[in-house]
Structure 1
């Protein structure tokens, strides 16, 4: 019997914050701070939570740490909003294990990235995602980010997956090719869940039929990102447009270095985390950090540490 995913599809929309993974100065995962960050998100209207996606530095975590992060997030959310952890990997078996673990923990869906570094062809990508999707009953949202994976999941491949796998219900497109993004809904159907992973395309994707975004900027100003989506859903196009443009300068500065380094620098300035990344990642230059501080000041974000 084909499972009905309509209930989670109706709830899974709006601002899905990809919460960063906080580390201590000793490079240990700071699970208590992770719970505090999730509470900060929920207090500010975030519609759903993701962890261990790109912003969560999954390639810097062991498999055990990724599971622990998922478990901590699930307990912290406590059913208040949908939970969509990132479970993808360049290693197929690891992606299978993590996705099954997400289902076991109680995640509402899993975000599974196109494997990075090894550049599989389209046939191999189809087999990879189909095998992962067939191994679980929870919904799968595929994560296409060609700028980080060096491979683009073609629309026809995605459409075939959506046809053959009932639990492949959506895609996060971190894809600057807006023609590609339009064709996703044309080929996969207008009820296919389309999320933006490109900050400057969060509003435009809503306009063509997208349901939300997974924006790293929401780590810093969750309220404004959520409000943009709320305005759109309420039919207040002018407010949604205004917030889109209001967020643009912050979006720009937070992506002048590789995500999540600028976001972690900003959260450190706000006193939310120890601004630490595991090597080979590192904090932005002092010059960029100064620009981030100045930009936070423009947005009236309280900076506790200069």
Structure 2
């Protein structure tokens, strides 16, 4: 059994990427944040991730990111795996935040491919290799989301990292190129943890050997997103497929504007948070918020009454 074999078994299923709620004055609403974490765990989410794309990390200071991580770790209290996002476009910040995650006892860290500066594949390799070497006992999950970072980590680069860095154990692929994600497991090994970060690929990635998903939609229906994995694991392929199609309308409306703006609008409509983002992010238009509400009524109970799908 390899060093990370046990944790690789635990890090499977729906790892919910939690939003960071704000008060009206844009300070962090930690009470709502804690309630969201409890709700996710009670609803069946298999793990919790914070300060990833959905958690608006680029709108947080470094100190705020650390505080969010600390509060999440304390609130989870070992009930499910804790996987904070510790990546940045700044190499030293990534090192610092990843070491902080290790110090606070995170189960793994999710590290995004640096955004905006569009590094070469050679530079990506050096960045991730140095981060991995700095925390050899902390499992790391690469986060590849070319649509937002402007850079796609090539399969060959990821495969070299997986071989040279034993603690790089998986990847969250928010990559619509399904040929690419197939080749990840072919080249990195079938035991490499492949997570879907694309909502419409959560079920398909399980079919090719994926470990689960890190889906923004889990913020709205954590039970159903977790059930896609649970049904698949239990051999109920039809139920997993049914949930996949059932959630398509919700997935579609939640990505008609940039994540997490529609999520926060929806969670506000559900009474879970105050729907506040920090500029340059903002809530969707009134017409889209109305559309989100209409779709949402098919899935969850809204204050004032509804139909549950």
Q: Same fold (TM over 0.5)?
A: yes
Residue 96 of structure 2 aligns with which residue?
Answer: 97
Could you tell me how far 1:33 is from its partner in structure 2? 1.1
Say whether the 8 Å CA contact 1:271–1:304 is kept in structure 2: no
Q: Give the Cα–Cα distance (whole angstroms) in 2 for the partners of residues 272 and 125 of structure 1.
A: 38
**Structure-to-structure mapping, 1:44-123, within 5 angstroms:** 44-123=43-122
Distance 1:93 1:304, change over 3 A: farther
Bigger shift: residues 27-36 or 91-100 = 27-36
Residue 203 of structure 2 aligns with which residue?
Answer: 203
Q: Give the Cα–Cα distance (whole angstroms) in 1 for the partners of residues 74 and 17 of structure 2.
A: 16
Which secondary structure state, in structure 2, belongs to the residue aligned with residue 298 of structure 1? coil
Which secondary structure state, in structure 2, belongs to the residue aligned with residue 210 of structure 1? coil
Q: Which runs of 4+ in 1 moved over 6 A?
A: none
Could you tell me how far 1:300 is from its partner in structure 2? 3.5
Residue 39 of structure 2 aligns with which residue?
Answer: 40
Which secondary structure state, in structure 2, belongs to the residue aligned with residue 81 of structure 1? coil
TM-score, normalised by the number of residues in structure 1: 0.98
Q: Give the Cα–Cα distance (whole angstroms) in 1 for the partners of residues 107 and 197 of structure 2.
A: 19
Unaligned runs of 5+ in 2: none
Structure 1 residues 248-290: Cα deviation after superposition (integer angstroms, max 9, x where no partner): 0000000000000000000000100010000000000000000
Which secondary structure state, in structure 1, belongs to the residue aligned with residue 283 of structure 2? coil
Residue 235 of structure 1 aligns with which residue?
Answer: 235
Could you tell me how far 1:228 is from its partner in structure 2? 1.0
Say whether the 8 Å CA contact 1:297–1:303 is kept in structure 2: no
Residue 17 of structure 1 aligns with which residue?
Answer: 16
TM-score, normalised by the number of residues in structure 2: 0.97
Task: Give the paired residue count.
Answer: 305
Task: Supply the RMSD in Å over aligned alpha carbons.
Answer: 1.3
Could you tell me how far 1:65 is from its partner in structure 2? 0.2
Structure 1 residues 207-235: Cα deviation after superposition (integer angstroms, max 9, x where no partner): 00001000000000001001111000000
Distance 1:200 1:224, change over 3 A: same
Structure 1 residues 144-175: Cα deviation after superposition (integer angstroms, max 9, x where no partner): 00000000000000000000000000000000
Could you tell me how far 1:303 is from its partner in structure 2? 3.8
**Structure-to-structure mapping, 1:119-158, within 5 angstroms:** 119-136=118-135, 137-158=137-158
**Structure-to-structure mapping, 1:148-187, within 5 angstroms:** 148-187=148-187
Residue 7 of structure 1 aligns with which residue?
Answer: 6
